[in-house]
Structure 1
Amino acid sequence: MIKIGETYLENCPAPAKLNLFLHVTGRRDDGYHLLESAFQLLDHSDLLHFKLRSDGQILRTNDVPGVPQESDLVIRAAKLLQRHSGSQLGAEITLDKKLPMGGGLGGGSSDAATTLIALNRLWNSKLSRQQLMELGLKLGADVPFFLFGQNAFAQGIGEALTPLQTPDCWYVVIEPGVSAPTAAIFSSKALTRNSPSIKVSDFQRYPQGTWKNDLQSVAIQLFPEILAALDWLNAYGTAKMTGSGSCVFCACDSEETANQILKNVPKKPHSWNAWKAKTLHQHPLANWLAD
């Protein structure tokens, strides 16, 4: 449960997302890829805790393996908001990391978005949702989605967002034990960049249709562990990879079905971590965002 005080905010969720599909439709002159995707929020989250400082310092209080403090998106987001708002206040930030890095679940971007939302409130900076989204885009293409506050159909480089109604369901997600670097996937010569554009209405008519992730074929060539997880999960439905990998997922019609799949996940020879999550229709902190 989120705890709110004048000088602290505790247990602030940074939820995972799934890309229900991901098409690469082109590439801009500056190298950024043009995408279309459907973003789905899940009730599986990192947790962040914030404590107000009056001296302007921004500090992370705990170690996060593989993420030096100076390059952490959480710290970068806090400093960006501090500069933009002119706040003289600071914060101590603790990050309880549950979402895997290089998993395609948007963990780092979600952490950054939650930091912007929470410190905007704690510092009383009074930036609007749109202002925070514009700041978030400077940190990464997925950050604006988590500030948008609800599931979305994404276009452009991921920043052009349209509200999207998605069905209630459960998902089984498998972390296949590898981290897929986004840059390696997008820079691959094997990546096609000419998928035909679709409309929001096309996806809403057939949300579980034949939509694919264009990055998946590249990722499974580089990481056979992803292919092994997809092959196994396909026995229970249509399995797909999310984002640029490495996590794969499958929709379930009930929690009971998800539990049954989890019971069958092989423990060897793979080093998989599997879990279930329910769909969310809005970000847990959406009410903290002012239009």
Structure 2
Amino acid sequence: MRIKSISTSVWTLVALAVAAVWAFPVYWMFNSSFLPNVVLQSTTPTFLPFGGSLANFAAVFDDGKFLAALGISVTVTLATVAIALFVAFLGALAISRFKFRGRKSFILALLLIQMLPAEGMFIAQYKMMSSVGMLNNIIGLTVLYTAAVVPFTIWMLRGFVAGVPAELEEAGMIDGLSRTQAFLRITFPLLAPGLVAAGVYAFLQAWNEFTVALVVMTEDQMKTLPLWLRGFVQASATRETDWGMVMAASMLVAIPVIIFFMIVQSKMSSGLVGGAVKG
């Protein structure tokens, strides 16, 4: 028992050390966001934001493009999550509950689509959006994001739908419920963890995506947050990069993700684990 206790303590310390290494860049971003650029350029690192201020955050908000980029990212991300979950949910129901011609081919196609590199489709996506007049358009970017996340979301939700016995709905129908009522009252609540897990995936993919937006959102006033943030990192011809402002901007980009995780974290863990063992 003593040896086992010592082993557990050692592995706990190792895990804490790994967690500290993983969390340090996040803390460094937080710390640097409060410090002026002069301090950040010093050869002596400053590990605590004593003497710092909110000047970097104020400078970010003074940039007229930040709020516009924030609005575009929020709109595109929320629309992508909502549409992707709706379409993927119906697709998961279809391949889990019904037998139809081409079902196996459809499932195989979902897997093959995930193997295609996104970079290989940039030219086709650009030409397609250009031909229908949807370059620098929120709807066009939402369509591309939705198409990118739907295949994997369907595959993820398929395991959850298959893990809920259809007999539960049949029992509800025997008790007087219609098929729709039985589904909404019995099956749908059981799928909540899966929807949350799929929603987290769709949210992260849409919020952090950079390359597709770089291709189809070329106008300055139509930049998403990752594209807008790149402008802070790139030094201009007349000044050096203001790393304090860059870190403050990075914090503002990360805050919505943190808030989203705090809202869904109670369901997220069970959803990810459930999706791994069902189906």
TM class by shorter-chain length? under 0.3
Task: Give the structure with higher Rg (CA).
Answer: 2
TM-score (norm 1): 0.22
Q: Point out the structure with the larger strand share.
A: 1
